[in-house]
Structure 1
Amino acid sequence: MESCPLCSNQSQLHSEPLFPAWMNASENPTLNICGTCQTRFERNAAFTMEFFKERAFLKKTNEPDYYDTFYGSELHLKRSRIALLYFLVGLNLKQHLIGSFDRLAHDFNGRFIEENDYHLWAAFNPEHIETISAPVRTRIEGLNATECCILGYHFFLITDQRPLPAKSLIQQLEQEQDLTIMHAGIEKDIYEDFEAFMEEFNSRKK
């Protein structure tokens, strides 16, 4: 028996890839975790098949109207947000299992993600449709976060314990009925695109 690096339980350890096997990532290192944690990652992998490949949560795509707006977007069923959070938190934990994200590990193991104030923002860029990149540290809205790209989707996960700013654009978007994913412009600063997208998005609601 060995100690699982994620949950610390004493158990026989099993090999687990960083990315779900179906993604066929060119670089996909493995780590050793217990069977219980592996089962949870298998559920995450099943969700990613539904989200990315089968598009089971996609409600509709809004194409940009160049006479009115520049940005398109995707609307996904809101219930996909929690599953997406668990996938992203799990991916971050796999990448940083050497003590970097103790709070994320505690909440992931205890299934407290939906009870705590976790935030994500996503943008889709078709130029990166074949990209699969591991999470890296970044900052967004003045807070610590991580960024990764999965098959064209850039995901930003807030890892900071501090609350989002009062005028947070991410928080504004989270209030919507659907999970809204912006279509990014071509090779611009994604957050600058997000600010412009939200300006358009809010003006269309008035």
Structure 2
Amino acid sequence: MAANPPLCDYGWKAVDARLPNTDGRNCSILDFSGPNGLVVVFICNHCPYVKAVIARIVRDAIELEDHGIGFVALNSNDAEAYPQDSFDNMKRFASQNMLPFPYLYDEDQSVAKAYGAVCTPDFFGFNKDMELQYRGRLDASRKEIGPGDLRRDLYEAMVMVSRTGRGPAEQQPSIGCSIKWKMPV
């Protein structure tokens, strides 16, 4: 089922946590921030919305590095109910898609809850002070790969953040599959 996250809560501070990375190390989310900010994105391996745009996410992460913006992805889906989102499958996904950024496993879903993440993909763009400045979409793609000339919402917003410390006043929410929450015990 598709879900839309709320719009940007400007100034909200990034939450840090140490999580397992697909490279075998435990890593701090904020360790991946660049001198001008950080993008934290919630993705997963099986979501058709993520699959449709993963090459564009990779492109934007690489290009944002030139603007001093770091990038990190997290998977918070319930891997027991959705085995395709297991940590082993995250490793395969990272390798197959040549992810140039860390892909962390939020197994207990505490980070997704702390961020208020709603869907995959769900993008959070922070300035150099780790204050939220962007909570929007990558571009206008949905479950299908959009045309190559789509406006690059995330990229343009984060370039603005890198230059000014502030995100755009108007932002379009992301859309994607809902995060697969664990059933309460």
Does 1 or 2 have the higher relative contact order (CA < 8 Å, sep 6+)? Answer: 2
Name the larger-Rg structure: 1
TMscore range, shorter length? 0.3 to 0.5
TM-score (norm 2): 0.36
Structure with the bigger percentage of strand: 1
